[in-house]
Amino acid sequence: MTTPYVNAKSEAQTYIDSVFEQLKLKYAHQNEFLQAVEEVFVSLVPVFEQHPEYIKNNVLSRIVEPDRIISFRVTWQDDQNNVHVNRGYRVQFSNVVGPYKGGLRFHPTVNESIMKFLAFEQIFKNSLTTLPIGGAKGGSDFDPKGKSNSEIMRFCQAFMTELYRYVGPDVDVPAGDIGVGGREVGYLYGQYKRIRGAHEAGVLTGKQPGYGGSLARKEATGYGLVYFVEEMLQDAKESFLNKTVVVSGSGNVAIYAMEKAQHFGAKVVACSDSNGYIYDPNGIDLKVVKELKEVNGERISNYVNYRPDAVYSEGCSGIWTIPCDIALPCATQNEIDGEAARTLIANGVKVVAEGANMPSNIEAINEFLNNGVLFGPAKAANAGGVATSALEMAQNSSRVYWSFNEVDEKLHDIMKSIYTQCKTAAEKYGYAGNLVVGANIAGFVKVADGLLKEGVY
Ligand code: NDP
Ligand code: 2IT
């Protein structure tokens, strides 16, 4: 005889499976999007067992279809007056919790699947920050590599000329992501301001400090990641002191993750770019990395010209063969597969926390969880960037600037609160210690409850 509990359980699982099967049929080629959805759905079974109203109101089908996808042509001229065409996107996924919010990515791999996976994750990440921001993402398949400053400016102007009609401080607030930093946000904002004929500073975040930008926004994702890991370590009666850390990437997130990890006494021995990685047994000299990457836009391979004991290796995946206590993937999606995860585990990794969005594939996540590695999932661990974007929006609305320390302290508190939310949700639903389940559930429940409160639309 089946108990009512078992019936309820099977109803939840059946419902979740059926929504996912339909999604797979409809978007068969959107691998990254389906991967991001699958990771969330697997976590939600215990929630749906306890909340039949979510099934009754078909919450999942409503949450996996973006409110809208805006897609446009971006036409621009290079320095030789040749005309180029790129595709631009903005996926406005959900504004249940607040105005659409999320970064812009300029990278040749950008397509609808990548945009949708990033925007989908952003909904739950933004919900975890506890601040009033919905989920979105945008970008273009434009490749900024090798482009002059003028070409970048003209591209950003052409991009905003198309995007401006869909964004606004209370509508949708883009920011940076891969290939988009303070310089690009400045050009995008300049064009928006010209078209609108008004200062609406809250339309974009990640602006330059002094021109509407918040202090500590540049540092926020990397610092926030390390603050999150600090909480994980503290719970395990550990700390960063004297730990060996490997960080992939050498962009915005990676640089400030390395900076804060070093500040907490860790030894960071490796970082990378899309061509290869450097290993410095004496500990990475961050001044050199910043000079190469932030000032000169050079390849990470040139690091060895400044540090004779450092070694450069071609290819990015080799970085995970370097033994470390803490691994912080901060480059891009699916950079850690099952094999890389097994190598990290065999070499004794204790903590893996995601600075990038979806850097570990599902097989890798399961390897970490099943082998006692403390695992900090992206939507929680890298939420410090968007949280500080929301703090920038708050400053813009009230026309004030907070000091670096004020913002940094708020960021630190937000990361602690995100950690606690994830830990508590995991415990509440019977998955103590599993921060993947905890982050997905805590992020989801707030959005689902908001959907129900606002009626069917
Ligand atoms: P940047 O453009 O500043 O840096 C990206 C870094 O990752 C570079 O070192 C780049 O190398 C490397 N990289 C990019 N694409 C690939 C690839 N396909 N294969 C290997 N390496 C690659 O971006 P961010 O630091 O801002 O973003 C890094 C990650 O963090 C992304 O996943 C992003 O979505 C995520 N993130 C960013 C936030 C932010 O506030 N900026 C907030 C939260 C998450 P190269 O220079 O050779 O291209
Ligand atoms: O993935 C992310 O959270 C970001 N790229 C930051 C988004 C933002 O709006 O600050």
Per-domain boundaries in the chain: 11-63, 68-199, 219-381
Distance CA 330, CA 273 (A): 10
Distance CA 36, CA 76 (A): 33
pLDDT given at position 8 = 45
Collapsing DSSP states into helix, strand and coil, what is residue 114?
A: helix
What letters, b where the CB count within 10 A reaches 16 and e where it falls short, cover 392-430? bbbbbeeeebbeeeebbebbbebbeebbebbbebbebbe
Task: Give the ligand at the shortest distance from the Cα of 202.
Answer: 2
Contact 31, 113 (CB under 8 A): yes
Q: How many separate helices (H) and strands (E) can be counted in the chain? A: 16, 12
CATH of 68-199, one of 3.40.50.150, 3.90.1150.10, 3.40.50.10860, 3.50.80.10: 3.40.50.10860
Examine the residue annotation and report whether 137 is marked as an active-site residue of this protein. Answer: yes
Strand segments (E) across 225-380:
244-248, 267-272, 276-279, 311-314, 326-329, 351-353, 374-376
Q: Do domains 68-199 and 219-381 have the same CATH topology?
A: yes
pLDDT given at position 7 = 53
Residue ranges in the chain whose pLDDT is less than 50: 1-5, 8
List 101, 116, 125, 137, catalytic entry: 137
DSSP 166-221: G-BTTTEEEE-BTTB-HHHHHHHHHHHHHHHTS--GGG-SSPPBTTTBPTTHHHHH
pLDDT given at position 1 = 37
The predicted model scores a pTM of: 0.97
- Tokens 């540049």 locate to 218
Please give the structure tokens belonging to residue 289. Answer: 């990395």
Q: CA of 144: how far to CAs of 103, 105, 327, in Å?
A: 16, 10, 28
Contact 333, 117 (CB under 8 A): yes
Listed in sequence order, the residues at least 6 apart from 31 whose beta carbon sits closer than 8 Å to its beta carbon are 113
Distance CA 293, CA 268 (A): 17
Question: What are the strands of the beta sheet with 276-279, ordered from one edge?
Answer: 311-314, 276-279, 267-272, 244-248, 326-329, 351-353, 374-376
Which residue's CA is the nearest one to ligand 2's atom 10?
386
Task: Give the ligand at the shortest distance from the Cα of 104.
Answer: 2
- Enclosing H/E stretch for 286: helix 286-290
- Spacing, Cα 281 to ligand 1 middle (Å): 24
382 lines ligand 1 (CB under 6 A): yes
Centre a 10 Å sphere on the Cβ of residue 295 and count the other Cβ atoms it contains.
8
Which residue from 53, 59, 49, 17 is spatially nearest to 430, judged by alpha carbons? 49
Centre a 10 Å sphere on the Cβ of residue 370 and count the other Cβ atoms it contains.
10
pLDDT given at position 2 = 40
Question: What are the strands of the beta sheet with 135-140, ordered from one edge?
Answer: 68-77, 83-94, 135-140, 100-106, 172-175
Beta pairing partners, 319: none
- Spacing, Cα 249 to ligand 1 middle (Å): 6
316 lines ligand 1 (CB under 6 A): yes
Fold of 219-381: Rossmann fold (3.40.50)
Long-range contacts: 301-308, Cβ < 8 Å, 24+? 301/275, 301/276, 303/278, 304/278, 307/280, 307/282
Burial of 190 (0-12, 13-18, 19+ CB in 10 A): middle
- Spacing, Cα 102 to ligand 2 middle (Å): 5
Distance CA 43, CA 437 (A): 5
